[in-house]
Each structure stands twice: as structure tokens, then as C-alpha cells.
Amino acid sequence: MNKSLKMILLIVFSYLAHQSSAQSTIDINSQTLARIIEGTIDNAHGVTSTDCMLIFQDGNYHLEHRFQQLPNQTATLRVLDATLSTMQLEQLRELLGEENLNNLPPYIQPKYPINDLLKLTNFSLEFSRKAIPLRVGYLLWSKKTHSSTSNLENKDVQKGWEQSKTTLQPVVDWFHKIKQSNTTQSNGKSNLCGTADR
């Protein structure tokens, strides 16, 4: 692994860990509906991409997209502050109301750094059910060599991620459609999708 790639992976791992920490303390209050984070590290193609979305009860949302392609040493950032359509908001509320989300285990963040990965995808969702904050999610990866330096090797953790991936797929599909439907950029500032002042 070359020096530039090691440096970029360190930055990405640090960023994802920071988001995980921020997510664990986010205030899912009467104004906040949900927070979604999806990050991908593709070492085979030298690409890293991270998206986060904070959705408010009134349908307004804050979306951030970061993308980096080697040999570029910095990532590009696109920030969007917009409003969901009535249908999009209703669809999300229906998905968050699905009973099977209650049966998912709490999301366990992978332990960084993780060595010898070809590709890693990290997805997490935080929302509130009856005033109780819930955080669910999963991790997907492919490896070049066997390594036991992370909880990737924990079978119970893996089982929880697999269950969560299947159950959360409709939410993932909804999220991807929102990202693809609006590719414009606003004058909003990056806040890592933390709780914004309203």
C-alpha cells in the first residue's frame, strides 16, 4: 500500500469515526425525524465516498456528499439544503414506522483502522420510536487477506449486520433515490449532519 493511500485511509477512518461519535450523541428531538450516514471505501479503484442526511419533521433536510478519487489528495464536498416532497416524506415515515425495525440489534460501529480491505460500505440510521432514540445499521466488506485486527471477525456482530442489511434495504433504496433526484448544490455549510439550529 503506497504512502498516499495510507494517508487517505487514515483520514477516511478518522472521519467515519468522528461521524459515529457525533451520531451517538445526536438529539433526535421533536424537530428531527432521522439521520442517515453511508460511507464507502473502494481501495481497488482508489475511491472514497461519504453521504450524510439529516431530515426534519417538516420535510426539510440537510445533505452532504464527500467524494475523493486518487491521486487527488483532497475530497470534494457538496452541500444541499432542500425539502422533501409530500410523497417522499410520507414514504420515509412509513418506512420508519415498520415494526421490524424494532427487532434489529443496536448498530455496532466497526473498530478502526481496518487492514487489508478491498471495499467497505458503512450504513447507519438513527431515528426515534415513541420518544426512544434508536440506532441501527450494518457494514459490508471484502478483504484481500485474513486479519483479526477488528470486530469484523465477531460472528455475533456479523449476524447483526446481515439482519440489518436485509431489513434496512427499503430505507437504503429511499435514500439513494433522494440523492439521485437532486444533484444541485445550495449555499449551506457543512455540519457533518449534526443537530442544526432551526
Residues 27-46 have a mean pLDDT of: 84
Report yes or no on 119 lying in a domain: yes
Report yes or no on 103 lying in a domain: yes
Residue 23 clears pLDDT 50, i.e. is over it:
no
Task: Kindly write down the DSSP assignment for every residue of 141-165, as one continuous string.
Answer: EEESS---SSGGG-HHHHHHHHHHH
- Tell me what pLDDT residue 95 has: 97
Report yes or no on 186 lying in a domain: no
Cell representation of residue 164: 440489518
| Domain of 80, in residue numbers | 3-181
Report which of 122, 107, 110 is spatially closest to residue 172, judged by C-alpha positions: 122
- Tell me what pLDDT residue 147 has: 54
The pTM score is 0.80
| Omega prior to 113 cis, within 30 of 0 | yes
Report yes or no on 197 lying in a domain: no
Looking up residue 66, the CATH number of its domain turns out to be: 3.30.1560
Q: How many domains does the chain divide into?
A: 1
Report which of 8, 165, 33, 162 is spatially closest to residue 90, judged by C-alpha positions: 33
Report yes or no on 189 lying in a domain: no
**Separation of alpha carbons 171 and 149, rounded Å:** 30
Report yes or no on 71 lying in a domain: yes
pLDDT tens figures, 138-154: 998 876 655 555 556 67
Among the ranges given (75-79, 90-94, 144-148, 187-191), the one the predictor scored with the smallest mean pLDDT: 144-148
